[in-house]
Structure formats: structure tokens, C-alpha cells
Structure 1
Amino acid sequence: KTIKPISREILLSFFDLYNDPVLCVVGEADFDEVVEAAERKITVKRMPPSKLKINKINKQAVERRKGLKQAHLVLAFHTATLRDRRRYALESFNAIFSDGGSSRLFQEIRDKRGLAYHVRSYPQIGVDYGHNLIYVGTDAGHVKQVKELILKEIKKMRELDKKEFEESKEQLIGRYKLIQEDSWMVALALLWEELAGSAEEFYRYEQRISELKLQDVRELGKLKRYSFAALVPK
């Protein structure tokens, strides 16, 4: 009922209404040739800044489905947007909490207890919205326990020590330097920053991370509201 009535004309009109392209070129290129090609191929419309208001909703749901071999659960909470410098604190938080095999959550849920194979956070940050998704794949009988462990580990981030915090900053800055070797990753990062206000913010990353304070990251451990969803075998 929702998809079938959408015609080609409707799709094109939607594209024409909202398409406001940003072109980013990284690497060896002739600037004049790029500009000439862009002017021929791309129609630029100066759209007014987005004033989209996101209603922050927090809900919980568990759905049972046939054919699943394990439970898939996500705990998520609202975060800063691309326009908010507090997003850098979230990067440090995730580096410590749930990014990779040495992270706190991975160690607690997988290595120590053997409750899951895949444990990771997926920050989703845009110009008008921001949320952090924590995903775990586990057995159906472990859903409640895993959820409680996630919340417990988030709470423990309130007492984050300075040594672990400083190590996360070094890790993030090192990763940033590696990204600069990849033209595609640089182009993508520049596009996002331009959409948020200024592509130059990409080149301030090391400074922003260096300026982070321990309390900025600890604050994210003071989680009061969140959403939770789980798909479990039927």
C-alpha cells in the first residue's frame, strides 16, 4: 500500500525538490576541469538550511520471528548531532566502551561470559539527529542478561579513569591519521562536515579530540533514557 503507488514521476519530483548536491574531490585533479564538468552536469539549488525537528522517542519492543537462529538486540540512546561538538566525546566513549575486541563491553559479554559473538556500537550521526546503537547477537535465553550488562557497563563509564581516557584519545587521533591516507574516506568525511557547516572541521579533528575533557566522556555514562529492541527466535 505504501510502495506500489509511488511512480517514477513522484520519485523524480521528490529528487528535484530536495536534491542539493555537494561535490567533493580529493586527490590529483585539475580544479578548472572539475568546475567545468560540475557546471555542465550538476544543477545547484541553494536550499534553505534544514529546520527539521526530531521528536526524541524512547521505546522498548521484543518481537518473535520464525527462522531465526539467534536473538538480535539493540540498545540505543540519543546523542549529539554533527553540529554539536559533544559528538567527539561520543567517539571517545565508543572507543573505550564498545569498539573492537579490547573494548569494555566486548570483554564483559563475549570474552568473560561467552554470551555473544558479535558485540559492537554503531553511532548514527547526521545534521539533524544523533543516536548510538549498541548491537549484540546472542541466544534467546540471554537477552535479559545481556541488556542488563550493557546498562551496567554504561553506568560504570561514569567512573572512567584518566589513563583509559587518554589512551582512547591517542587511538582516535591515530585512526584519523590513517584515514587521511584513504582519498575515499577523506572525501566522505569532508562531505559530512560540509553538510554540517564547514568542511574545514575535518582538519580540526586532532585538535577537537585533544581538547576533550574526562568529564565530557563520563557524562555519557549518566544514561537516563534509551530505546531497546530485540528480535528473538519463535
Structure 2
Amino acid sequence: MEGLKVSDANLVVYVHPSKSKKVSEAILRELGSLLFKFSETFDGVLLAYDVNILSEVAKILPGIHPYFGVRLKAKLLLFYPKPDMILEGKVVKLGQQSIHVIVLGFSSAIITEEDIREEFIYKVKHGQEVFASTSYKQHKIKVGTIIRFLVKSFDEEILHVSGSLVPANTGCTDWLDKNLEDWSHTNRSTKKQRESEGRGEMEEHDKVTVDGKTFSLNTEHQIKKSKRRRSEDS
């Protein structure tokens, strides 16, 4: 899953003088207070840490309460979802207009009706709500399903993700993992067929280069098709 990274950090933790005899305990408590909160310094949500105190010698800071700073190295596990990343989460609730997901057990995500591709149709079968694919009978999303979805945005304050199931490589992870190879083969065959048909229809047209790739264009519609194919391939 994307959205996770390990970062090496050089930190200074400020400890109250009353904790001078329990420095290690004070440092762990301070770092623990940062867990599952977004940090601008780390550019992510701190999930876990491994600490190595560099020196027991601390620098005393002037002031009414003379805190002292302790230098340490830490290896941090961070959650940093960015737009267009792919995340995985467990469906905890769904309705006709939305799918609610929990990511890594703490971050909530929602996928609204406009971000659920038309392939999925909402149904109630045997009293259970489900989004079923009209293209693949076995591809279903219900409460308890682990899904793979695209990040649209991330609210750092409340740790809330807005997601999308529009891309073809999103949906139930179990189904995707079992059928991705077949899907990729079919997608490549379809792409080659479209490219072959396109070459047969094109004669001499203007050319445009986008991101280092040259495309032959004949109409505005053809431009949109090319962009859509690039999106699917990525």
C-alpha cells in the first residue's frame, strides 16, 4: 500500500527537570503523545518510532522552568496520503450514495456516489447492502471487504481521506489480486486493437508532444481518448 514511509530523524526532546532521573521514560512519553497525529515537521501522521538516545548529556534551557534538551536519533513510521496514491482499507459501512472505510485502524475514508464508477451497482441481497460489478459477477463490495481506492484529498486535522473508485485498478483487493493479471492482459489487447484501428483511420494530422510522448490527433475527441488511455495505463 502506498502512503507509508520510514523516515530517519535527528530530534531534540525537551524534558522537565523533574524528570531528570527518568530521562528515557520522559522521552518515550513525549514521543508517545505525538502518535496518530499529523505533524508538519514530519509531514505525516506518526504511527510508530524506534529511538536511539545519542547522549545522556543534556543542554539546559534558560527560563522560569529550566527544561533541558536531549538529542536523539529516531526511525519514524509515517502515514502520508497524497492525491493519486492508492490506499487499502476495510469497509465499515455502505449505503446507496457512499462507502465508508477505515484505513490502518484509525483513519476514516469516504467514497461518495460520484466517485464510484458506473460499473458498480448498489443492491440489497438477503438483507445485506452490496455494490456489485455489472462487468464481473464475482467483484463485490460489502461491509467487511478490504478495498483498494485512490486518494483524492486528505484532511490533516481530522485524519479523514476522500477517496475514489473510478480507476479500473481499484475495488475489492481479493478480486483485484486474483484477476489483475487477466485484466492487464485484456487491457493490453484492447489497447493494441484500438491503436491499430486508430492508425487505419488516421492519415496526416497535426502532432502534439505531452510529457515527452508524441500523439497524432485529429479531433478534440481523440485528444480526450488519448488522455484517458494514459490515465488507465498509469
The reply to whether TM is greater than 0.5 is: no
Structure with greater helix percent: 1
TM-score of the pair, normalised by structure 2 = 0.20
Structure with greater strand percent: 2
Q: Quick one: higher RCO (CA 8 Å, sep 6+), 1 or 2?
A: 1
TM-score of the pair, normalised by structure 1 = 0.20
